[in-house]
Amino acid sequence: MTRRVIAWRGATVYNGGSVNRRPAMRPVLQAILLLVSAIHLLPVVGVAGSDRLASLYGIRVDDPSLEILLRHRAVLFGLIGVLLGTGAFVESLRGAALAAGLISTGAFVVLALLVGGANEPVARVVRIDVAAFLLLVVATGLHAWMGRSL
């Protein structure tokens, strides 16, 4: 007996009427990755210098060493943002993108909780990273549900 497969609106209907909706979830996964990518790309403006860093984090950056570290942090966020955005469309990079995003957002939230005492702009970043982390957990679940691994 030959199995017939019919693709319809992102779902696959197999012989006998069973429906595989996993392909229909791909746009949801892509949207989450693109949103978290945008979140990671926002701090890239910090590369422009201490004035931009001050507006992002509500701190004065008078020490050149601190400025170097924060500007380098902005570059690293750009790399993670590009990886997440690329992972939305290149399936072979999706696992690495999810892992990098989870580690990045999770580590920042944990460090913020351990250190405590963050000013309001940094506390806002923590809240955004909590949301990004939760979105990435959902995306990782979808990725696994679609039969992929990290």
Which pLDDT tens digit goes with each residue over 124-144? 999 999 999 999 999 999 999
Q: pLDDT value at position 2? A: 53
Residue labelled with tokens 């966020």: 77
Q: pLDDT tens-digit profile of 39-54?
A: 999 999 999 999 999 9
Positions in the chain whose pLDDT score sits under 70: 1-21, 149-150
Residues across the chain: 150
Residue 80 class from Cβ within 10 Å (0-12 exposed, 13-18 middle, 19+ buried)?
A: buried
Q: pLDDT value at position 3? A: 54
Q: pLDDT value at position 148? A: 74
H/E element, 149: none
pTM beyond 0.85: the answer is: no
Q: pLDDT value at position 27? A: 94
Report the first-to-last Cα separation within the chain, whole angstroms.
Answer: 36
Q: Which two tokens stand for residue 46?
A: 């910090």
Residue type at position 110: V
How far apart, in Å, are the Cα atoms of 97 and each of 24, 102, 110, 140, 147? 21, 9, 20, 10, 16
CB atoms within 10 A of CB 138: 13
Rounded to whole angstroms, the Cα distance separating 24 from 44 reads: 33
Rounded to whole angstroms, the Cα distance separating 13 from 28 reads: 20
